[in-house]
C-alpha cells in the first residue's frame, strides 16, 4: 500500500513531537517573504500542530501505523 508523499511527510513531522514542530514554525515565521513551498510547509506544520494538541492519541496511532508499514 503506497502512502501519499505529503501524508508521509506529515507523519514524520508528527513523530518528532510538538517541540520540534513549534521550532520549525518559528523559524519559518521569522521570514516575511516566504516562497510558495515554504508557505505550504508552514500551513502543513500548523495543521500538524493542531492535530498534535487536539488529538494526541490519534497522532500516536497514526505514527505507529506508519512505522509498521515502512
The domain tally of the chain equals 1
Average pLDDT over residues 37-64: 90
pLDDT: which is higher, 54 or 11:
54
Would you tell me how many other CB atoms lie within 10 Å of the CB of residue 58?
12
Q: Is pLDDT above 80 for 60?
A: yes
* Cα–Cα distance measured from residue 17 to residue 32, given in angstroms and rounded to the nearest whole number: 25
* Cα–Cα distance measured from residue 68 to residue 58, given in angstroms and rounded to the nearest whole number: 15
Q: Is pLDDT above 80 for 3?
A: no
In terms of residue numbers, what domain contains 47?
Answer: 5-69
pTM value? 0.77
Average pLDDT over residues 36-57: 91
pLDDT tens, residue by residue, 11-34: 888 888 899 999 999 988 888 788
Contact partners, residue 10, CB within 8 Å, separation at least 6? 44, 47, 48
Amino acid at each position: 500500500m503506497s502512502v501519499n508523499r505529503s501524508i508521509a511527510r506529515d507523519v514524520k513531522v508528527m513523530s518528532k513531537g510538538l517541540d520540534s514542530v513549534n521550532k520549525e514554525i518559528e523559524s519559518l515565521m521569522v521570514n516575511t517573504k516566504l516562497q510558495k513551498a515554504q508557505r505550504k510547509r508552514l500551513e502543513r506544520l500548523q495543521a500538524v500542530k493542531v492535530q498534535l494538541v487536539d488529538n494526541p492519541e490519534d497522532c500516536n496511532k497514526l505514527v505507529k501505523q506508519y512505522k509498521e508499514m515502512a
